[in-house]
Amino acid sequence: MICKIASLPGDGIGAEIVPEAIKALQAVGRKYGHEFVFTEALIGGAALDAVGVPLPEETLRLCRESDAVLLGAIGGPKWDNLPVHLRPEAGSLLPLRKELGLYANLRPVVLYDALIDASTLKKEVIQGTDILVIRELTGGLYFGEKKREQTPTGQIAVDTLVYTTEEITRIARLAFETARKRKKKLCSVDKANVLESSRLWRETVTELAREYPDVELTHMYVDNCAMQLVRWPKQFDVIVTENTFGDILTDQASMISGSLGMLASASIGGKVALYEPSHGSAPDIAGQKKANPIATILSAALMLRYSFNLEKEAQDIEKAIVRVLDKGYRTADIMQEGGILVNTEEMGDRIAEEILEAK
Ligand SMILES: NC(=O)C1=CN([C@@H]2O[C@H](COP(=O)(O)OP(=O)(O)OC[C@H]3O[C@@H](n4cnc5c(N)ncnc54)[C@H](O)[C@@H]3O)[C@@H](O)[C@H]2O)C=CC1
Ligand SMILES: CC(C)CC(=O)C(=O)O
Ligand SMILES: [Mg+2]
């Protein structure tokens, strides 16, 4: 099988973690005779510095013409004070997701047994957690109209939170279908007690539930959900929520798995899907070889599963990660007593070796 993959390292630790995911994919390719062809392109601050725009036309074209996209992360303090269209977040990542039609962001929150003691949360609370958060990705606050105006007393800043019935139905249907293949439990998270967009969200999800009588649907306010995630995460199977809530809740939920560096993601819904870790460019550790590449490597496994239908190969990556963690290898963010501290590259090497060695 020949798979064309656009590789977009981006900024900060992006350039350190993407090569480790490529290593894992190449190991899978060698083992099974698949040919993964990587073409690298610029995005984010790196693109802005090199060619003057955060999302070059050439990068967009490459993504559209590829079978899948592997992204590191974008952004950093160097570009924070630019006009919004030039900033890596609003000027590259958001339009890329929109252009590719990636309305659903899947973030599995799974705790590996080996990391139970690496988490700061209580063992009995987190043990056995396996949640899939489905975040709406191309609507809501990040995409609504923004404006700034001067008033006699200061400024006024406006962000607009918009959702249509079609957008909610689309993501909710995916969530019901996904829940059907898991434990058949779906929790829809909103803030319907105050937000009109959330009222429409809740009405629409409730209406759609009639088509899925086998799925147990619950609704939860987002503030309660934030609390429940750390109180008793095992109550959740699939969570579906809007863009901003999903963004925040998943960073929080990542601590159940030990670190934000463990949280993968798949952005799907269009012809070409995009795979990236849930975290950002981590400027505080960039260039120090401290970044945990596992979230990106797990995202590569999701790519094999969702874009290429290579389930066994995806599981090989996931099992290799389990074995490496069981052997005690740890990057700094998941380090614990008795662990063997490794850097980004060494973690990637260990995982690639395990992929090749395992039957
Ligand atoms: N998808 C993307 O490209 C995203 C980009 N960003 C951008 O990234 C920049 C930094 O944002 P922050 O708020 O600091 O969030 P961040 O996710 O980059 O980092 C938050 C904290 O987690 C740690 N961390 C993140 N990934 C890690 C990894 N793989 N291994 C070990 N530790 C890790 C960082 O060191 C930091 O202490 C900003 O410019 C932001 O806009 C933020 C989130 C997502
Ligand atoms: C530009 C941001 C919306 C990126 C982010 O935080 C995310 O997608 O998790
Ligand atoms: Mg985020």
Does the pLDDT at position 196 exceed 80?
yes
What distance in angstroms lies between residue 94's CA and the mean position of ligand 2's atoms?
A: 8
Q: Look at residue 64 and tell me whether its pLDDT is greater than 80.
A: yes
**For position 1, what pLDDT does the model report?**
84
DSSP state letter for 254? G
Mark residue 101 as left, alpha or beta (left: phi above 0; alpha: psi -120 to 50; beta: remaining): left
Q: How far is CA 154 from CA 80, 82, 84, 158, in A?
A: 22, 21, 20, 14
Average pLDDT over residues 127-134: 97
* 316 three-state secondary structure: helix
User: Active site includes 191?
Assistant: yes
Confidence of residue 344 (pLDDT cuts 50, 70, 90): very high
pLDDT-derived band at 310 (thresholds 50, 70, 90) equals very high
Find the mean pLDDT for residues 73-96: 96
Listed in order, the ranges of the chain carrying CATH 3.40.718.10 are 1-102+262-359, 119-257
Pocket test for ligand 2, best of 8, 11, 93, 267 (most atoms within 8 A of CB): 93
Going from the Cα of 29 to the center of ligand 2, the distance in angstroms, rounded, reads 30
Helix, strand, or coil here: 317?
Answer: helix
Q: Say whether 113 is catalytic.
A: no
Which whole number is the average pLDDT over 194-206?
98
What pTM did the predictor assign? Answer: 0.98
Give the closest residue (by CA) to ligand 2 atom 3: 89
Q: Which residues have a beta carbon within 5 Å of ligand 3, which is an ion?
A: 247
* SS3 state at 325: helix
Q: Does the CB atom of residue 260 touch ligand 1 within 6 A?
A: yes
How much is the mean pLDDT over the chain?
97
For residue 135, the ligand closest to its alpha carbon is 2
Instruction: Please provide the DSSP assignment of 161-173 as one string.
Output: ----HHHHHHHHH
Question: What pLDDT does residue 96 have?
Answer: 98
Confirm whether residue 76 is marked as ligand binding: yes
Whether 359 has a pLDDT exceeding 90, the answer reads no
Q: Of 49, 113, 159, 223, which is the active-site residue?
A: 223
Residue nearest to atom 5 of ligand 2 (CA): 247
Residue 159, both tokens: 């962000």
Has residue 212 got a pLDDT over 80?
A: yes
The stretch 267-274 carries a mean pLDDT of: 98
* Residue 55 tokens, joined: 């999302």
297 pLDDT tier (thresholds 50, 70, 90):
very high
Four-residue CA torsion sign, 293, 11, 252, 174: negative
- Helix ranges (DSSP H) in 117-164: 123-126
Q: Cα separations (Å) of 191 from 7, 196, 317?
A: 37, 9, 37
- In this predicted structure, the answer to whether residue 94 has a pLDDT above a threshold of 90 is yes
In the residue annotation, 251 being an active-site residue is answered as yes
Q: How many angstroms separate the CA atoms of 48 and 50, rounded?
A: 6
Strand segments, DSSP code E, in the chain are: 2-10, 35-40, 68-73, 104-110, 130-136, 146-151, 154-159, 185-190, 216-221, 238-241, 266-268, 273-275, 329-330, 340-341
Confidence of residue 149 (pLDDT cuts 50, 70, 90): very high
93 ligand 2 Cβ < 6 A: yes
Whether the CB of 249 sits within 6 Å of ligand 2: no
Band of residue 119 on the pLDDT scale cut at 50, 70, 90: confident
- The CB of 269 under 6 Å from ligand 1? The reply is no
CA of 338 to the centre of ligand 2 (A): 34
In percent, the amount of the chain with pLDDT more than 70 equals: 100
ipTM: 0.99
Q: Establish whether 247 is an annotated binding residue.
A: yes
d(CA 45, CA 42): 9
The residue whose CA is least distant from atom 27 of ligand 1 is 261
In the annotation, is 67 catalytic?
A: no
Q: How confident is the model at residue 298 (pLDDT cuts 50, 70, 90)?
A: very high
| Pairing mode, strands 266-268 and 104-110 | antiparallel
Q: Cβ(188) to ligand 2 under 6 A?
A: no
Give the torsion through C-alpha atoms of 11, 17, 21, 23, to 10 deg: 110
The class (CATH top level) of 119-257 is: alpha beta
- 12-17-21 Cα angle (round to 5): 150
Task: Single out the catalytic residue among 67, 163, 190, 191.
Answer: 191
Q: 292 labelled as ligand-binding?
A: yes
Residue owning the nearest CA to atom 6 of ligand 2:
247
The residue whose CA is least distant from atom 31 of ligand 1 is 291
Whether CATH 3.40.718.10 fits 1-102+262-359: yes
Position 358 scores a pLDDT of: 83
CA contacts within 13 A on the Cβ side of 83: 4
